[in-house]
Structure 1
Amino acid sequence: MKSNSSNQIKKFFSEIHFSRNDVWDFALILVGALIQAAAMSLFLVPADLVSGGISGLAQLIHHYTEFPIGLMVFLGNIPLFILGWKHLGGPRFAIRTVVSIIAFSAFTDLLMLFLPRGGVTDDPVLNTIYGGLLLGVGLGIVYRGRGTSGGSDILGRILNFRFHLTISHAYLITDSLVVLAAGFVFGWTKALYGLVLIYVSGLAAELALEGTNVVRSAMIVTTQTDAITQAIMKDLERGVTILEGTGGYTGEPRDVVYCVVSRMDVPRLKTLVHENDPHAFMVIGQAQEALGEGFTPLKVDHH
């Protein structure tokens, strides 16, 4: 038994190889954890606003015991980390999770020692908006460093694995239960503000993780393939791909022009298509990210 444990530890450390990218990831995780801790210390804790997860439970316990929130977050994540070990993606992901949890816990307790206990404002709306924004931005930066905040993230993955719940539904269940408990402790008005805070932080996390570089993808069914293709390449300076399609009703072959453009290019794209084929059928969708020539360079992730 002792030999097996020793072998597992050796295997764990043998799989860890740090690179320059890893250093950058850990820097992002530390910065993100600091921003999250600032949100807790400046807005959430002074205003009795709970965002769910282990940190939310820690706030509820702190309300009655004055036990340090950061320390409770750390202790509360230990059993979840043990349960979720097999589903965390290997040693590198596990290390990032540990760093994130320890940093957030330590920063939270340190900042609460030096920052005003009353926070920045006593306005619940401002605390909700700015607390949610800071919390979400910090979480998004942690995600950019390929880390996780622990707590709901780990529990959500466990629920997804064990009960086949979607990650979003798992988060909804875990966070809603904590906010429900906050309603009994802090009152239902603050619990409702907490729901708004969760929504705001989710939007901010997505923005911090993916940036504002949301692009549009267009599929154009046309009989004037050459004219539209040349117009897009010349006027918009965007590449196109010609797909072969078949009309479901007529059974006739149809070309489908596929291209990716920026949001600012969409009005001009519509004009070009109309000018060259007024009877064309076009679908414009939102793409989270475009990688390659003309957009963000495509980089290889060696991890």
Structure 2
Amino acid sequence: MAGESDISGGAAAAATAAPAERAARRRLGDWSATATHHTPWEDAQAILTGTVLATMGLGILSHLGLLTSGVAGLSLIVSYAFGINVGVAFFVINLPFYALSIRRMGMGFTLKTFVAVALLSAMSAVLPQVFTIGYLDPLVGAVIGGLLLGFALLALFRHRASLGGSGILAIFLQDKFGWRAGLTQLAIDLTILALAFTVIDWQKVLYSLAGALVLNGFVAINHRTDRYIAA
């Protein structure tokens, strides 16, 4: 029967594809250790796209003198306080987290994350020379910046990469001491926002909080393993 033929043909195709898939995983190793088996080329385009979006988001926030959550927010504080390029600050602050990343997330994740952070640092150094902003309402800018960072993180997360930072620390502390990662991340973000009062005024802190809520809300809604299993 036609239905039986289709079923047997599908089973034969799956059996044929399985060895090829296993061979590809052996070649790519931990780099492609995701449920979707992204190829290095697919990962490359996602990392490039994600870092471009993140660079634009940070550029907008930096232009407005605003902050965001996590290491990106801490990098902006360092940038405002010491006049260091935000990309350079972001790269340096992320360095201690790579050891935790290798231990907790694996070498493939760590390498892709390192590449993403390095690209963002380089792009942030070049951005002021190729992109300038005129007038931008602070609240609108905070929302746009948060959305761009949210899209960036989503692209990276779905290809088993990140922009490093406090999220890795939160996961490590949960594994080591049983501290809930969400509460740890919240404590870190609140500390960063508290530090913000030392470099920006309270109105900008409120705008920054709005942008951080947009960012985290976007990621929470769209990055769900029951809808897209990649990380």
Match of 2:43 among 9, 18, 25: 25
Q: Secondary structure of 2:96's match?
A: helix
- Give the number of the structure with larger relative contact order, counting CA–CA contacts within 8 Å between residues 6 or more apart: 2
Q: Distance in 1 between matches of 2:197 and 2:92?
A: 24
Question: What is the root-mean-square deviation of aligned Cα atoms in Å?
Answer: 2.7
Percent identity (aligned)? 24
What is the aligned partner in structure 1 of residue 210 from structure 2? Answer: 196
Select 2:53's aligned residue among 18, 31, 35: 35
TM (normalized to structure 1)?
Answer: 0.60
- Determine the structure 2 residue equivalent to 1:72: 89
The CA deviation at 1:45 is: 0.3
Q: Secondary structure of 2:95's match?
A: helix
Deviation at 1:159, TM superposition (A): 2.4
The structure with the greater share of residues assigned to helix is 2
Instruction: Tell me the SS of whatever aligns to 2:199.
Output: helix
The answer for the alignment partner of 2:160 in structure 1 is 146
**Correspondent of 1:51 among 68, 72, 75:** 68
> Following TM superposition, by how much is the alpha carbon of 1:64 offset from its aligned partner in structure 2, in angstroms?
2.9
User: What is the CA-CA distance between 1:122 and the residue it aligns to?
Assistant: 3.6
Aligned residue pair count? 201
What letter corresponds to residue 66 of structure 1 in structure 2?
G
Q: Which secondary structure state, in structure 2, belongs to the residue aligned with residue 185 of structure 1?
A: coil
Question: What TM-score does the superposition give when structure 2 sets the normalisation length?
Answer: 0.77
For 2:198, what is the secondary structure of its paired residue?
helix
CA contact (8 A) 2:47 2:155 kept: yes
For 1:86, the equivalent position in structure 2 comes to 103
Kindly provide the amino acid, as one letter, of the partner of residue 103 in structure 1: L
User: How far off its partner does 1:50 sit?
Assistant: 0.8
| Paired AA for residue 186 in structure 1 | I
CA change 1:124–1:92 in 2 (3 A) is same
Please say if residues 101 and 110 of structure 2, whose CA atoms lie closer than 8 Å, have aligned partners that are also in contact. Answer: no
Matches within 5 A, 1:128-277: 128-209=142-223
Unaligned 5+ segments in structure 2 are 1-26
Asked whether the 8 Å contact 2:31–2:109 carries over to 1, the reply is no
Residues 65 and 76 of structure 1: is their aligned pair in 2 closer, same or farther, counting only changes over 3 Å?
A: same
- Residue 104 of structure 1 is matched in structure 2 by 120
Separation in 2, partners of 1:53, 1:20? 27
Partner of 1:269: none
Q: Which runs of 5+ in 1 are unaligned?
A: 1-12, 211-286, 292-298
Aligned counterparts of 1:183 and 1:109: Cα–Cα separation in 2: 25
Q: Which has the larger radius of gyration?
A: 1
CA contact (8 A) 1:15 1:91 kept: no
- Could you say what secondary structure the match of 2:84 adopts? coil
Question: C-alpha distance in 1, partners of 2:155/2:134?
Answer: 23
